[in-house]
């Protein structure tokens, strides 16, 4: 479990994270989302004790990271994993890491099998592909058999097979009762992997809810097909309602439920050939929610660029 309470981080004048409170629970994969510069990496670094909060706190499995006697047994992390540049083999890399924390050799063998690196375990890790490097990063995170995992962009640069492998692995780890927090820019991937979301924008919490609720909250649109599209479009016009049309007989309506559209059409004697609520994708929901958080950044940066 990860619990953040009023977590705040300032770098000089700039506040990277503001009064952030959220809980990442065990048993499901939680996605950590936010536009560039939202404060995700800063938050992850504070979770892992790599950066100290200016105020507030964040606990992993009940204690702040630094207060754990053997943190590697509590939380496994992969931050900005890149191919490992090392002359050591994957096996010796893991063995060295294990030795520093008293983790037995047998566990090194186990994690090599979990991440599927058995065949290349004795090859120089410096020559690994990005995908193999990611697997090695995950093996390192799993070494201490931790109850909590924090992974920053674990699928970056992976091929579809590697992405599917990580997805399955993370879901399995969560199903074992672990807490799994991952950030990713790939929304479609997040929608398939995560069940819960923590979304931040400009350092503040914007959503802490299930993926299903997050997407539902975005509303989506309704697709309507009718021979009398023009007439229906005029009847539906109202403040807050947007109607777009790519084909003359098809309308995409936002701001009205399919019930309302159906009733309006029936009252006017308009026959509908199709009336389909369209679920917004996670990407659309994310764009809608964070639009203001993104737009706000430009003036802030411009101001910073000006001489004092
Ligand atoms: N060491 C630092 N010194 C000064 N400012 C920093 C530092 N680290 C982060 N920041 C600033 O804090 C804000 C949040 O940055 P952070 O890297 O946490 O965002 P992010 O959500 O991880 O972004 P991205 O998705 O682009 O990686 C940014 O405006 C960034 O410029």
- The ipTM assigned to this model is 0.95
Supply the CATH classification number for the domain 2-214: 3.40.50.300
17 C-alpha to ligand 1 centroid (Å): 9
pLDDT, position 294: 66
Kindly indicate the confidence band of residue 305, based on its pLDDT and cuts at 50, 70 and 90: very low
Domain extents in the chain: 2-214, 221-278
* Calpha distance 165→82 (Å, rounded): 17
Name which of 32, 12, 13, 14 is nearest 23 in CA terms: 32
What pLDDT score was predicted for residue 36?
87
Ligand 1 pocket at CB < 6 A? 11, 14, 16, 34, 36-42
Which CATH topology does 221-278 take?
Alpha-Beta Plaits (3.30.70)
pLDDT digits (tens, 9 = 90+) for 143-157: 999 999 999 988 887
| HSE value, Cβ hemisphere, 13 Å, CA-based, for 203 | 16
Mutate to test the pocket of ligand 1, among 12, 35, 41 (most ligand atoms within 8 A of CB): 41
Q: What is the pTM of this model?
A: 0.81
HSE at residue 123, side-chain half, CA atoms within 13 A, is: 12
Asked if residue 122 lies in contact with residue 19, where contact means CB atoms within 8 angstroms, the answer is no
Sheet (strand 2-11) strand order? 14-24, 2-11, 55-60
- What's the pLDDT band for 186 if we cut at 50, 70, 90? confident
pLDDT at 84: 58
Tokens of 225: 């097909």
Which of 40, 51, 184 to mutate for ligand 1's pocket (most ligand atoms within 8 Å of CB)? 40
The DSSP H or E segment spanning 102 is none
Phi, psi of 21 (to 5 degrees): -125, 125
Which ligand 1 atom sits closest to the C-alpha of 42?
A: 18
């Amino acid at each position: 479990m990860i619990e953040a309470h009023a977590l705040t981080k300032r770098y000089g004048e700039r506040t990277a994270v503001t009064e952030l409170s959220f809980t990442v629970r065990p048993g499901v994969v939680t996605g950590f989302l936010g536009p560039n510069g939202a404060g995700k990496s800063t938050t992850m670094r504070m979770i892992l004790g790599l950066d100290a909060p200016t105020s507030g706190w964040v606990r992993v499995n009940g204690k702040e990271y630094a207060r754990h006697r053997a943190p590697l047994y509590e939380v496994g992390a992969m931050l900005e994993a890149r191919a490992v540049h090392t002359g050591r083999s994957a096996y010796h890399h893991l063995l060295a890491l294990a030795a520093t924390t008293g983790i037995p050799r047998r566990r090194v063998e186990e994690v090599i099998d979990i991440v599927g690196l058995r065949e290349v375990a004795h090859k120089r890790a410096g020559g690994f592909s990005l995908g193999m490097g990611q697997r090695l990063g995950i093996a390192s995170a799993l070494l201490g058999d931790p109850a909590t995992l924090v992974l920053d962009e674990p699928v970056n640069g992976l091929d579809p097979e590697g992405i599917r492998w990580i997805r399955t692995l993370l879901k399995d780890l969560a199903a074992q009762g672990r807490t799994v927090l991952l950030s990713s820019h790939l929304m479609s991937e997040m929608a398939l992997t995560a069940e819960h979301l923590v979304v931040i924008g400009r350092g503040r919490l914007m959503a802490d809810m299930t993926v299903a609720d997050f997407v539902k909250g975005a509303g989506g649109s309704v697709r309507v097909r009718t021979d009398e599209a023009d007439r229906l479009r005029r009847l539906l016009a109202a403040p807050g309602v947007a109607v777009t049309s790519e084909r003359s007989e098809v309308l995409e309506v936002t701001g009205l439920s399919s019930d309302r559209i159906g009733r309006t059409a029936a009252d006017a004697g308009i026959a509908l050939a199709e009336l389909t609520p369209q679920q917004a994708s996670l990407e659309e929901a994310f764009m809608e929610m964070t639009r203001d958080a993104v737009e706000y950044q430009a003036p802030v940066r411009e101001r910073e660029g000006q001489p004092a």
